[in-house]
Structure 1
Amino acid sequence: MKKQLLSLALLYAMPLCAQQADYPVRPVNFTAVQLTDSFWLPRVRTNHHVTIPASFARCESTGRVKNFEMAAAKEGKFCTKFPFDDTDIYKTIEGASYSMAVTPDKKMDAYVDLLIAIVGKAQEPDGYLYTARTIDPLHPHDWSGPERWVKEHDGSHELYNSGHMFEAACAHYLATGKRNFLDIALKNADLLVQTFGPGKRGVAPGHEIVEMGLVRLYRVTGKKEYLQLAKFFIDERGKRQYNTKSRNPWENGKYWQDEEPVIKQSEAVGHAVRAMYLYSAMADIATLEGDTAYLDAIDRIWNNMTTKKIYVQGGIGAIPDGERFGENYDLPNATAYNETCAAIGNVYWNQRMFQLHGDAKYVDLLEKVLYNGLISGVGLDGKSFFYTNAMQVRKGMHYHSLEETRSGWFECSCCPTNMARFLPSLPGYIYAQKGREVYVNLFMNNTASLQVEKQKVKIVQSNNYPWEGDLRFNIDPSAATEFTLKVRIPGWARQEAIPGGIYYFKGGKADSVLIKVNGQPVSYQLEQGYAVINRKWNKKDVVEVQLPMETHEVLADQQVKDDNGKVAIQRGPLMYCAEWKDNDGRTSNLLLPDVFQPEVRKELLNGVVVLKGEGKSINVNEQQQQVSTVAKQVTLIPYYAWANRGEGEMNVWFPEKIVDVEILAR
C-alpha cells in the first residue's frame, strides 16, 4: 500500500512528459498529508463509513444501478427521473476511490469493482454510455432526443455523464492502479474525439463538466486529443443565435454561459454549478495551453462574482428559477438558493485560480466557502443533506426555494454524491509548492511529507482551528534545507470579511499577526496575503502564528438592498447564525448584543464555540395588540451546523436597530 500511495502522489504532483506546461503552483497531493484534525477528520471518516455506503445503497434502492443493468440487457424502461442519474454512481465511485487511497477498505473495493463491471456491460460497442437511451433506443428519455447528442446543448446531459465518468475513472485508476474503469472511460472519450471537433459535430455542452473530465484524462494519459477536445467544446460557446436583448436567461443564452464567446465574457451568469465547472476547465486550459485570453476572462469573471454576486457565507447562485446567478447585487435572503454543488464547484475554481496566481485571496474565498456554505450542505450524521442553503427561515412563511429540514436524498441527488467525492480529497488543499516555496493554505492538524528540491521535509501542524487562532508548525527536514515558507494570513485576520469587499467588518483596525520561530518573534514580509519566511530550516524548528480570533460585525455594500441596515456575525473563518433551538423558538425577532462572549460547548453539535450575549427580542402580545422590546440572551451557532436539531427559524442577518415594524396578519 505504501508503494501504491507513493505512486499516486507522484502521478498527481508531477506533469506527464507529454505536457509542456502546467500550473506554476502545485498542490501537495492529499495522500501525502495525514489528517489528524479534530474538526475535519471526523467528517472525512463519516464520509467514508456513512455517506459513501449510504450513497451506494440509495443508488441501488432508487433504480440507478438497475438502469445500467437494463441497459446491458437492452430491455426495460428507464426507471429514475433524470437522464443524468447515471452520474450519481460515477461520483460515488470517485469519492470511494479517493477515500480508499488513504483508508484501505477491501469490502468497498470489491463493491466498486462490482459496480464498474455493471457499468461496463451497459456500454455500447463503440463506447457510447448513456442508459437513458441504451435501454430502449426507440423510446429514450424525453430530454434525450431521437438521436445521440441532438439535444446535448439543452437537456440530454450525455456529455455531462461522460465528464463525471472521466473524473471518476481517473480517480479510481490513480487510487487503485486498476484499469477496469479507466478503459471504459477511454473508450467513451475516444468516441467523443471521433464525433466532435473541427469539421465534425460541434456543440456547446449544456451542462459543463466534460471539459474538466477530458483535461483529467489528458493528465493521466498524455493524449493531446483529449485536451484539444476540451478546448473545442469551450470555444463552441457563443456561436448560437439568441435574442441577446431578452431578459429571459434561456432566450439570451446566459443560462448556459453561451451568450457570447468565453473570451469576451466578464460576468458570472447562468446556472451556477455549470458556471463553476466551465471556469475551472478554462483555468486548466489557460495554464496547459498558455491561453492568456482564457486567463483574462476568468480573472474578470472572478472579480465580478466576488464583488457583486456572492452571499456572506460564500454561497452563489441566488435565483431559484434556473439555479443561477442573478443581476449584480441581487442577493435576496428570503429566497436564497445557494446550491451545495455550486459551493463545491467554487472550491474547485478558486483552487485553480490560486495555482495560477499564487495569491492568498483565492484561498481566503475557498476557506469562506469551505467552512460555511459547503459543509452546511451535509448534516452532522453524514446522511442528510441540503440541496440549497438558506439565509433565513421565518415562522409562518415557507419559501418554495428552500428546504427547511435536511433530506436523506433527492430525486435530483447531485449534491449528496458531489459531497461524497469532494471530502476525501480535502487534505490536498492544505499545502502547495512552487519550487523552493512551500505554501501553507489551510489550518488543520496533520502530518505532511513534502519534497523540496530532492530534500524530504516533514511538516506537522497542530492547532484548534477554527475555534482558536494559535497555530504551530513543526518543520522537520531530513537535513538542513533552505526554502521559503509562505503562511497564509487570512483576510479575516487582516480586517477583510471577504475578498472583493462586498462585505466588510464594522469598525476596528487590523491587528498585527505575531509570528515566532523557535520562540523568538520574527519580522516578515506580507506578499499576496502570505507571511514570507525564508531561512535554512533545521530539524525541530518550530513556527508559531497567533491569529486574532475576534468576533466581527459584518456589513454589506449598500447596493445589496436586502442587507441594508442589517448586520451579520463572523468569528475567524466562521459565519454565525441564530437558530430557534437556542433562542426560545424564534430568531426573526432578535436584536443582537453589542458584545458577544465565545463559549465552548463540547456536547453541542459535535462540539462548537457558540456566541452569547445580552440582546433584545421584539415581542407581540396578540390579546392586547401591543408590541414590546425586552432584554434577552441571544445565542449564535456556526452557520454550517444549523438544521441538525429539527425544523424552525434561522437567521444570518439581523437589524442593527428598530426603524419600523412590518405588520403581518394571519
Structure 2
Amino acid sequence: MTRCWISFLFFGFAAIPTAWAEVADWVDYPIVPVPATAVKLTDQFWAPRIETNRTATIPSSFAKCEETNRRENFRIAAGLSDKQWLGDYGFNDSDLYKVMEGAAYSLMTHPDDELNGYLDQLIAEIAAAQEEDGYLYTLWTAPADQKPPQYDRMGIRVRNQRWDNLQHDHELYNLGHMYEAAVAHHQATGKTSFLDIAAKSADLLVETFGPGKFESTGGHPEIELGLVRLYRETGRREYLELAKYFIDVRGTTTKDKPRLWGEYCQDHKPFLQQDETVGHAVRALYLYAGVVDVAALLDEQAYVAAIDNLWHSVESSKLYLTGGVGATGAGEAFGRPYQLPNGTAYCETCAAIANVMWNHRLFLLHGDAKYIDTLERTLYNGFLSGVSLDGTHFFYPNPLSSDGQHQRAEWFGCPCCPGNVCRFVPSTPGFAYAVQDDTAYVNLFAAGKAMLPLASGEATITQTTRYPWDGKVQIAVAPSAPDAEITLKVRIPGWARNIANSDGLYEFADADSPQPEVTVAGESVWQPADGGYATITRHWEPGDTVEVALPMPIRRVAADERVEADRGRIALQRGPIVFCVEHPDVPEGHVHNLVLPDNAELATQFESDLLEGVQVIEGEAQATRYEGDEADPVIVAETVPFKAIPYYAWAHRGRGAMDVWLPRSMDAADPLPLPTLANRSQARASRGAAGNVGCLSDGRLPPNSLDQSRGIIHWWPRKGAEHWVQYELPEPTTLSAVEVYWFDDTGVGECRVPESWRLLVRTPGNEEWTEVDSPSQYGVEKDQMNRCEFTPVEATAVRIELQSQPNVSSGLHEWRLEGE
C-alpha cells in the first residue's frame, strides 16, 4: 500500500501543507478519511453540538484547568510561580493538553484571535516548564519545596529519578496527549511553537528508550498514538519506530521492567499473543488504536491478525448495546465474556471515544461497513450520554440502569472525560466520508456539504436529511472534472439490514423490517451482499442525486441468552438510537417494575420541545407490584402509559430511575415492594452522600455487600468521617428493631463497613436526637442484614450515625424498620 503523505486530524487526515515534512510515498492506510475541516455540517443534530462544544465545553474546561491549578503547575515547573503544585495525579498535565487540542480544532473552523492568543500564552508556559533536554512532566520538575505533601499517595509516588515509575506515573501518557495537541495546533495555525516542544520531547524519548537503552513502556497506552501523529506531521520515521517498540515491549520483562504489570496496564502478555480483550478498557482500546496505526504504516500483518481477533472478542461478547465498553468499575475494566451488567456498567465516556477511534481505524484498514456500524452505535449512544445537552456537565461511567444515583458533574478528581469530549466533538464530521482513489465512501448521514479529494479531482457531496430521526437521505454528487467516473459507496447500516450486531451478540426480536432502498434516477442500485455498502459507479453529472430510504420502525432488541443481566428482557431501538425509560415519563416515577410484553403496541413521534428535540416512543406497559400478606405476597399488574427517550438524553430532568432493558414477562419483573414503614418515610443523608436514598427502602436485597446493581448510597471519597442517614416517619410510630445491609467494595474501591454506628430517634414534641435504649448489637457484618433490637420507643424520626474506618468511606444498601 502506498499513498501520498498527508497528516492526521485527530482520527482522520488533514490535507494541510507542512514545512516540517517532505511529501513522499510511504505505506499507509488504503482508505483515507476526509478531514473534519472539509466537511461543513448544517444539520440540527451534530452542528449545534459542535457549536456548543466551541462556546461552552472548551471554555468551561479551560476555566476548570485554571481553577484546579493545572495551568499553574506549568508555571511552577518553569519557576514562574511560588505556589504549591496542586493535584492528586501526576497526569494532570494531560488534561490541559486535551482541552488545548480541542481548542485547536475549533480554530480550524472558527478563527478566534482571543483563543489563539490564549493558546500562545499556554504554549509559552509549557515551553518554559520543559527542561533543557526536552523532559516535560511538571510534578517532577517542580522545585522540591513546592511539591505536594501527598507526594507519596494516590496517583503520585515518591520518585528517585525520571522514568522510574512508568507503571503509574503516566509520564509517557502525558506526552502522547501533548504530541496530539501540538500537531493539532500546528495544523490549525501553521505555528511551530508547540510542535517544537513536542519534537524536542520526542527526540529525548528516541534517545532514551529502545533495545539496549531504557527498556520499558508506559502503564497507560497513549504515547503510541501521539508518536504516530508526530511522525505524520514531521516525517521523522524514528517516532513511528519508537511507537512500535512501545507496543512490542509490552508483556515482556526487561532489565528496566523486571516484572509484568498485568492486565490493567495491558502488560500481561505480548500483544501478538493476546486473544481476548481484558483489563482497563481505555488503556486497551488506546493501545489497539495505536496498533492499527502502526500496522498500517509499517505493513505489519501479524498485528492485523491479532487486532482482528481482539475486535471479535469485544463485538461478540463484551460490547454494550449502546456501544459502551467496560463492564466493571473494578479496574475500569472489561469483564468476562457476556458479563454485561446494567446498573454497574462502567462504560466510561473515554472508553466510548476510544472505541470510535479503534473502529474508525479498522474501517480505514479493511473497508468493511461493520466497523462504522459499531462506530455509529457508540457515537449516538455510549459517547453522547457522556456530555450534557449544555456541554458543561459530564458522566464518567454511563450505566444502562439507574436508581437515581447518577448525575453528570462539571469536573472530576480525575477529569479525563471532559478534556476528551473537548477534542472529540469537533472531530465528528471527520468520520462521515472517506476516499480511495476514485471511490468515495459515505459512512455517516448528516445534512451538509463535503469536499472530497479524489484521484480524478475534487468532488462535492451534499447531503439533505433529518437523520437520525428520519432515514431519508438525498446525496448530490458534483465532481469538478466533467463527466468523471466515480464510485460512490453508501453505507447501509446493519440496523437497516436486520443486523443488530455483526457477531450476533444482539438480535432484533421482532419480525424483519422493511428493506432499504437506494435509487439513482429512479433505478434501484442496492445490492445487499456488497460489504454493507450500496456501490454506484457512473459518470456523474451536475444534479445527479442518490435517494436513500432507510426504514426506521421501532425495533425490539434481545441479547444473547448468555448475557445474564438481559435475559428475559428487551431494549428499544429506532435507527441508530437506543432508547431508555426514565422516571419523568411513567406514573409515579417507577421504572424497574415495568414489563413490556412482546405484543404491546408502540408508536413514535418527534417532540421538538423535549430535551432540545427528540424522537420518543410511546406505548403501554404493565406496572407490577406486590400485594397481600407479607408472608405470601402476590404480584399484580396494571396497564400504564410510558414514554421512552433516546438514551443519550437521560439524567437531564432530575434524579430518578432509568432502564434500557425492560422485562418481557412477569418472570423477569421486579415488582414494587409491599408498603412498609421505611418506604413510606422520607429518607435523607448527610453532606457528601452519593446515590439515591430511596434505594434504602426499595426492598431489593443485593446478593452481597459488593454488588452495586440494585442501588446504594455512600459517602466516598469522604474518608474516616462521621456520616448519618435518617428516616422522617409518616406518623409517630413505636419502633423496636432495625436491619441494615452495609455496602463494602473491598478489592474494588474504598468503601468498607463502618468502624462503629449507633441508632438515634426523635420523639414526639422533642427535636433532640437521643440514642435508643438497650440496643442488642450494632453489627457490621458483610453480605447480610445486621439486626439491632432495642427497647420500644415512639418516634417521629430515626437516624443511623456511623463512623467510617480510617482512610476509607462507608455506604448502605438497605435499611428496614420494625414498628407498630
- For Structure 1 versus Structure 2, the TM-score category normalised by the shorter chain is over 0.9
Which of 365, 371, 382 lines up with 1:356 in the alignment? 365
Which of 202, 213, 224 lines up with 2:215 in the alignment? 202
In the alignment, does 2:297 pair up with 1:285? Answer: no
- Using the alignment, how far apart are the partners of 1:428 and 1:661 within structure 2? 43
Query: Which AA in structure 1 matches 2:554?
Result: T
Higher RCO structure, 1 or 2 (CA under 8 Å, sep 6+) = 1
- Using the alignment, how far apart are the partners of 2:209 and 2:197 within structure 1? 19
- Using the alignment, how far apart are the partners of 1:216 and 1:661 within structure 2? 51
Q: How does 1:148-227 map to 2 (within 5 A)?
A: 148-227=161-240
Q: 2:605–2:616: 8 Å Cα contact kept in structure 1?
A: yes
Aligned partner of 2:573 in structure 1 is 570
In the alignment, does 2:666 pair up with 1:645? Answer: no
Tell me which protein shows more strand as a share of its residues.
2
| CA shift for structure 1 position 619 | 3.3
Q: 2:253–2:260: 8 Å Cα contact kept in structure 1?
A: no
Decide which moves more: 453-462 or 643-652: 453-462
- Using the alignment, how far apart are the partners of 1:356 and 1:661 within structure 2? 45
Query: Which AA in structure 2 matches 1:71?
Result: A
Q: How does 1:189-268 map to 2 (within 5 A)?
A: 189-240=202-253, 253-268=262-277
In the alignment, does 2:126 pair up with 1:119? Answer: yes
| CA shift for structure 1 position 136 | 2.9
| CA shift for structure 1 position 211 | 0.5
Query: Which AA in structure 2 matches 1:640?
Result: Y
Deviations 1:437-470 (A, max 9, x none): 1100000111011232242211100101111110
Aligned partner of 2:412 in structure 1 is 410
Q: How does 1:98-109 map to 2 (within 5 A)?
A: 98-109=105-116
Look up the SS of the partner of 2:26 in the other structure: coil
Which of 31, 48, 56 lines up with 1:25 in the alignment? 31
Residues 660, 312 of structure 1: alpha-carbon distance in 2 compared, 3 angstrom cutoff: closer
| CA shift for structure 1 position 280 | 0.5
Q: How does 1:479-518 map to 2 (within 5 A)?
A: 479-509=482-512, 511-518=514-521
Residues 430, 631 of structure 1: alpha-carbon distance in 2 compared, 3 angstrom cutoff: same
Which of 41, 45, 49 lines up with 2:47 in the alignment? 41
Deviations 1:14-53 (A, max 9, x none): x964552000000011111111111000000000000000
Aligned partner of 2:103 in structure 1 is 96
Query: Which AA in structure 2 matches 1:130?
Result: Y
Unaligned ranges ≥5, structure 1: 242-249, 399-403
| CA shift for structure 1 position 630 | 0.6
Q: 2:440–2:452: 8 Å Cα contact kept in structure 1?
A: no
Aligned partner of 2:617 in structure 1 is 611
Look up the SS of the partner of 2:571 in the other structure: strand
Look up the SS of the partner of 1:515 in the other structure: strand
Aligned partner of 1:329 in structure 2 is 338
Aligned partner of 1:338 in structure 2 is 347
Q: 1:8–1:175: 8 Å Cα contact kept in structure 2?
A: no
- Using the alignment, how far apart are the partners of 2:397 and 2:528 within structure 1? 41
- Using the alignment, how far apart are the partners of 1:251 and 1:216 within structure 2? 28
Aligned partner of 1:244 in structure 2 is none
- Using the alignment, how far apart are the partners of 1:69 and 1:274 within structure 2? 29
RMSD: 2.2
| CA shift for structure 1 position 525 | 6.1
In the alignment, does 2:604 pair up with 1:591? Answer: no
| CA shift for structure 1 position 120 | 1.2
| CA shift for structure 1 position 524 | 4.0
- Using the alignment, how far apart are the partners of 2:479 and 2:161 within structure 1? 56
**TM-score by structure 2 length?**
0.76
Q: 2:556–2:572: 8 Å Cα contact kept in structure 1?
A: yes
In the alignment, does 2:636 pair up with 1:633? Answer: no
Decide which moves more: 71-80 or 650-659: 71-80
Q: Highest CA radius of gyration, 1 or 2? A: 2
Aligned partner of 1:426 in structure 2 is 428
Query: Which AA in structure 2 matches 1:320?
Result: G
Query: Which AA in structure 2 matches 1:499?
Result: S
Query: Which AA in structure 1 matches 2:521?
Result: N
Aligned partner of 1:543 in structure 2 is 546
| CA shift for structure 1 position 180 | 1.0
> Aligned residues: percent identity?
47
In the alignment, does 2:657 pair up with 1:658? Answer: no
- Using the alignment, how far apart are the partners of 2:473 and 2:118 within structure 1? 41
Aligned partner of 1:245 in structure 2 is none
Aligned partner of 1:444 in structure 2 is 446
- Using the alignment, how far apart are the partners of 2:117 and 2:460 within structure 1? 34
- Using the alignment, how far apart are the partners of 2:167 and 2:460 within structure 1? 50
Tell me which protein shows more helix as a share of its residues.
1
- Using the alignment, how far apart are the partners of 1:360 and 1:68 within structure 2? 44
Residues 582, 660 of structure 1: alpha-carbon distance in 2 compared, 3 angstrom cutoff: closer
| CA shift for structure 1 position 394 | 2.5
Which of 453, 473, 491 lines up with 2:455 in the alignment? 453
Query: Which AA in structure 2 matches 1:413?
Result: P
| CA shift for structure 1 position 204 | 2.5
Q: 2:159–2:165: 8 Å Cα contact kept in structure 1?
A: no
Look up the SS of the partner of 1:155 in the other structure: helix
Aligned partner of 1:271 in structure 2 is 280
Look up the SS of the partner of 1:598 in the other structure: strand
| CA shift for structure 1 position 332 | 1.1
Query: Which AA in structure 1 matches 2:141?
Result: T
Q: 2:387–2:421: 8 Å Cα contact kept in structure 1?
A: yes
Decide which moves more: 441-450 or 508-517: 508-517
Q: 1:446–1:461: 8 Å Cα contact kept in structure 2?
A: yes
- Using the alignment, how far apart are the partners of 1:326 and 1:151 within structure 2? 30
- Using the alignment, how far apart are the partners of 2:53 and 2:466 within structure 1? 22
- Using the alignment, how far apart are the partners of 2:422 and 2:32 within structure 1? 24
- Using the alignment, how far apart are the partners of 2:614 and 2:251 within structure 1? 48
Q: 1:597–1:612: 8 Å Cα contact kept in structure 2?
A: yes
Residues 44, 639 of structure 1: alpha-carbon distance in 2 compared, 3 angstrom cutoff: same
Query: Which AA in structure 1 matches 2:49?
Result: R
- Using the alignment, how far apart are the partners of 2:584 and 2:638 within structure 1? 19
- Using the alignment, how far apart are the partners of 2:214 and 2:526 within structure 1? 59
- Using the alignment, how far apart are the partners of 1:448 and 1:522 within structure 2? 23
| CA shift for structure 1 position 150 | 3.9
Which of 130, 135, 139 lines up with 2:142 in the alignment? 135
Total equivalences in the alignment: 645
Q: 2:463–2:476: 8 Å Cα contact kept in structure 1?
A: yes
Unaligned ranges ≥5, structure 2: 1-8, 674-698, 701-815
Aligned partner of 1:533 in structure 2 is 536
| CA shift for structure 1 position 499 | 2.4
Residues 523, 95 of structure 1: alpha-carbon distance in 2 compared, 3 angstrom cutoff: closer
- Using the alignment, how far apart are the partners of 1:348 and 1:544 within structure 2? 29
Look up the SS of the partner of 2:580 in the other structure: strand
Query: Which AA in structure 1 matches 2:348?
Result: E
Aligned partner of 1:247 in structure 2 is none
- Using the alignment, how far apart are the partners of 1:332 and 1:455 within structure 2? 50
| CA shift for structure 1 position 126 | 1.0
Look up the SS of the partner of 1:659 in the other structure: helix
- Using the alignment, how far apart are the partners of 2:297 and 2:634 within structure 1? 67
- Using the alignment, how far apart are the partners of 2:128 and 2:247 within structure 1? 31
Residues 158, 622 of structure 1: alpha-carbon distance in 2 compared, 3 angstrom cutoff: farther
Aligned partner of 2:66 in structure 1 is 60
Look up the SS of the partner of 2:167 in the other structure: coil
Residues 251, 335 of structure 1: alpha-carbon distance in 2 compared, 3 angstrom cutoff: farther
Q: 1:493–1:548: 8 Å Cα contact kept in structure 2?
A: yes
Query: Which AA in structure 2 matches 1:303?
Result: H
| CA shift for structure 1 position 240 | 3.0
Query: Which AA in structure 2 matches 1:190?
Result: D
Residues 573, 118 of structure 1: alpha-carbon distance in 2 compared, 3 angstrom cutoff: same
